[in-house]
Amino acid sequence: AQSVSQHNHHVILSEAASLELGCNYSYGGTVNLFWYVQYPGQHLQLLLKYFSGDPLVKGIKGFEAEFIKSKFSFNLRKPSVQWSDTAEYFCAVNPGNTPLVFGKGTRLSVIA
């Protein structure tokens, strides 16, 4: 069965620090990869996605992620976090139009 691993349960950063959240998946075939964000009290929103092409994808709010096929990884990055980035981040994978398989999430707390 497919699985998604997010290495960090809770990350605490100061404003302006750089962010990298790890994500590894187990599926060996062609997959679609996603990062979703859930701000406090809000519903899940798509941050960015990778279907094919350039393995470095850019999303909203300055986030980017790099798909490394050989490592089965899709890590999320942001060069300089802001307090407003405090949220929970979920990596997800699906091969085509199938239910998403999510990681357990990483809670990011950004402190001033």
Residues of this chain that interact with another protein (CB under 8 A) are 34, 36, 42-46, 49, 51, 90, 92, 97-105
Q: Cβ of residue 70: shortest distance to another protein, in angstroms?
A: 25
Q: How many Cβ atoms from other residues are within 10 Å of residue 109's Cβ?
A: 12
Question: Which residues lie below 8 Å from residue 71, measured CB to CB, with a gap of 6+?
Answer: 24
Tell me how far, at minimum, the Cβ of 87 lies from another protein, in Å.
14
Q: How far is the CB of 46 from another protein (least distance, A)?
A: 5
Closer Cβ to another protein, 48 or 110, answer by number:
48
Whole-number Å distance between alpha carbons of 81 and 14? 8
